[in-house]
Chains A and B, each alone.
Chain A
Amino acid sequence: MPDITRRHALGAAAALAATVGAPLTAAAADDHDSHQDHGGHDGHQGLQPFDEVYRGRRIQGHATEGGGHHHGAGYAVFVDGAELHVMRNADGSWISVVSHYSPVPTPRAAARAAVDELQGARLVPFN
Chain B
Amino acid sequence: MTIRKNQATLTAEEKRRFVDALIALKRSGRYDEFVTTHNAFILGDTDNGERTGHRSPSFLPWHRRFLLEFERALQSVDSTVALPYWDWTADRTVRSSLWAPDFLGGTGRSRDGRVMDGPFAASTGNWPINVRIDGRTYLRRALGSAVRQLPTRAEVDSVLAMSTYDMAPWNSASDGFRNHLEGWRGVNLHNRVHVWVGGQMGTGVSPNDPVFWLHHAFVDRLWADWQRLHPNSPYVPAAGTPNVVDLNETMKPWDDTTPAALLDHTPHYTFDAA
Contacts and interface: CB of A to CB of B under 8 A. Distances in A.
A105 to B, nearest CB: 15
B173 interface: yes
A121 interface: yes
Interface in A34-89: 71-73, 85, 87-89
Contact of B132 (A73, A102, A124): A124
A72 B44 CA distance: 9
A98 B255 CA distance: 29
Interface residues of B, number: 34
A97 interface: yes
Interface string A90-117: 1100000111111100000000000001
Interface in B27-86: 39, 42-44, 46-49, 55
A121 B203 CA distance: 14
B115 to A, nearest CB: 14
Contacts of B195: 101-102
Contacts of B55: 89
A10 interface: no
Given A90-B173, A119-B112, A100 B194 contact: yes
A91 B136 CA distance: 32
A30 to B, nearest CB: 24
Contacts of B173: 89-91
B144 interface: no
A100 B46 contact: no
Given A72-B49, A121-B134, A126-B43, A101 B202 contact: yes
A102 B183 CA distance: 10
B229 interface: no
B169 interface: yes
B146 interface: yes
Contact of A102 (B42, B48, B190, B191): B191
A119 B108 CA distance: 13
A101 B172 CA distance: 11
B208 interface: no
A118 interface: yes
Of A101, A122, A123, most B-chain CB atoms within 10 Å: A101
Given A89-B47, A89-B184, A91-B172, A123 B204 contact: no
B107 interface: no
A122 B133 CA distance: 9
Contact of B203 (A71, A73, A90, A100): A100
B43 A97 contact: yes
A89 B171 CA distance: 9
Nearest to A82: B134
A100 B147 CA distance: 14
Contact of A90 (B44, B135, B169, B205): B169
A103 B195 CA distance: 11
A98 B132 CA distance: 10
A99 B203 contact: yes
Interface string B176-197: 0000000110000011101100
A100 B169 contact: no
26 contacts: A71-B43, A85-B43, A85-B204, A87-B46, A89-B47, A89-B172, A90-B47, A90-B172, A91-B172, A91-B173, A97-B133, A97-B204, A97-B205, A99-B202, A100-B194, A101-B191, A101-B195, A102-B146, A102-B191, A102-B195, A118-B134, A119-B112, A121-B134, A121-B135, A121-B136, A124-B133
Interface of A: 71-73, 85, 87-91, 97-103, 117-119, 121-124, 126
Interface of B: 39, 42-44, 46-49, 55, 112-113, 132-136, 146-147, 169, 171-173, 183-184, 190-192, 194-195, 202-206
